[in-house]
Amino acid sequence: MRLMVTGGAGYIGSVVAALLVEAGHDVTVLDDLSTGHADAVPDGARFVEGSITEAGDLLKEGFDGVLHFAAKSLVGESVDRPGLYWSHNLGGTLALLEAMRRAGVGRIVFSSTAATYGEPESTPIPETAPTRPTNPYGASKLAVDTALSAFAGLYGLAAVSMRYFNVAGAYGRFRERHAAETHLIPNILKVALGERESISVFGTDYPTADGTCVRDYVHVTDLARAHLLALDACAAGTHTVYNLGNGAGFSVREVIDVCREVTGHEIPVEVGPRRPGDPAVLVASSEKIQRELGWKPDHTSLHTIVRDAWTALRS
């Protein structure tokens, strides 16, 4: 297929672009490099520097589908600058959807997020759980999911929203490389590399076994493979939502222990206050995508996820 990957110079988009090229697709990456890196675009993919708000002319070249990763995705920043998140994530995506409609591009796979659910009533979280986002980032992604349903119903768009839980690990050289890094695993590994003194643990008074937050870490390669399945399964006039996670939760302290094992570094810890808006436990039920598309995570061991991130970081 001839495919456009928005945000393909970023962490997850670059891994998906690499897998698409390997699978023989004709891939064009559209990325404004606001948080991505031109050298993360895989060999064999064409790179166009630009915004999703200006995708119209490019789309008219003729594409079979779009994989849409481009977004602002820092929860804390979204609380401080909600307008930026609404205009960038919702406004930007609406412009992209209109341009796709005008160009006759009828298929999209979209990066949604566990943040659309907010504080869950129970875990693991299925796709049928209430969506009550607790920050503008999650709200803007949920609004896009709603728009995708409308475009599917009105214009026959084939759309899939992938709700990622905590994405981690690396695929070869393709790794997480954010200038303003907020995610737990890359920040712990910076301590092991000597780029940070210690890791702050945000809260030890949660109602969990060791008092720290529990998250579901999914390997980026497993996550990326799911996109290829979704692309094939897209059906005209339907919008389908899938959760993507490992189905197992690890606490912040458990993650730090695994990072110690993998790196051999003592990783000093500082206990800090809770980070506003962090739910205690977020674990996915990925039963729907396993049942409907036959997806199964291969790299479920946290040790493997951290090892791959560590190897890529040092290469």
Ligand X SMILES: O=c1ccn([C@@H]2O[C@H](COP(=O)(O)OP(=O)(O)O[C@H]3O[C@H](CO)[C@H](O)[C@H](O)[C@H]3O)[C@@H](O)[C@H]2O)c(=O)[nH]1
Ligand Y SMILES: NC(=O)c1ccc[n+]([C@@H]2O[C@H](COP(=O)([O-])OP(=O)(O)OC[C@H]3O[C@@H](n4cnc5c(N)ncnc54)[C@H](O)[C@@H]3O)[C@@H](O)[C@H]2O)c1
Residue 169's binding partner among ligand Y, ligand X, none (Cβ under 5 to 8 angstroms by kind) is: none
Binding-site member from 28, 73, 135, 243 for ligand Y (CB under 6 A):
73
- CB of 43 or CB of 270, closer to ligand X: 270
Q: By CB under 6 A, how many residues form the interface with ligand Y?
A: 28
- CB of 146 or CB of 211, closer to ligand Y: 146
> Which of these, 309, 196, 193, 204, lies nearest to 252 by C-alpha position?
204
CB of 214 to ligand X, least distance (A): 8
Binding-site member from 88, 215, 225, 307 for ligand X (CB under 6 A):
215
Residue 161's binding partner among ligand X, ligand Y, none (Cβ under 5 to 8 angstroms by kind) is: none
Of residues 13 through 72, those in contact with ligand X by CB under 6 A are: none
CB of 281 to ligand Y, least distance (A): 16
- CB of 166 or CB of 286, closer to ligand Y: 166
| Per annotation, catalytic residue among 11, 85, 137, 217 | 137
Mark whether 137 is an active-site residue. yes
Classify 183 as helix, strand or coil: coil
Query: Judged by CB under 6 A, which stretch of 108-116, 150-158, 229-237, 306-314 contacts ligand X?
Result: 108-116
- CB of 47 or CB of 250, closer to ligand X: 250
Residues 6+ apart with CB under 8 A from 277: 75, 79, 134, 135
Q: Tell me how far apart the terminal alpha carbons of the chain are, to the nearest angstrom.
A: 32
Classify 52 as helix, strand or coil: helix
Query: Judged by CB under 6 A, which stretch of 59-67, 148-156, 179-187, 190-198 contacts ligand X?
Result: 179-187
> Which of these, 96, 106, 19, lies nearest to 64 by C-alpha position?
106
Is-contact 284 125, C-beta < 8 A? yes
Query: Judged by CB under 6 A, which stretch of 49-57, 180-188, 225-233, 295-303 contacts ligand X?
Result: 180-188
CB of 170 to ligand X, least distance (A): 15
Of residues 237 through 296, those in contact with ligand Y by CB under 6 A are: none
Q: Which amino acid is at 26?
A: D
* CB-based burial label for 117 (10 Å; 0-12, 13-18, 19+): buried
CB of 264 to ligand Y, least distance (A): 26
DSSP state at residue 135: S
Pairing verdict, β 250-251 and 26-31: unpaired
Is-contact 208 281, C-beta < 8 A? yes
Closest-CB residue for ligand X?
213
Does the protein bind ligand Y through residue 167 (CB under 6 A)? yes
- Determine how many CB atoms are found less than 10 A away from the CB of residue 61: 10
> Which of these, 62, 242, 236, 94, lies nearest to 157 by C-alpha position?
236
Please give the structure tokens belonging to residue 253: 């302290």
Per-residue 3-state assignment (H helix, E strand, C coil) for 67-97: EECCCCCCHHHHHHCHHHHHHHHHHHHHHHH
The footprint of ligand X (CB under 6 A) covers 73, 75, 113-115, 166, 182-184, 187, 199-202, 213, 215, 252, 275, 278, 282
Residues with catalytic annotation?
137
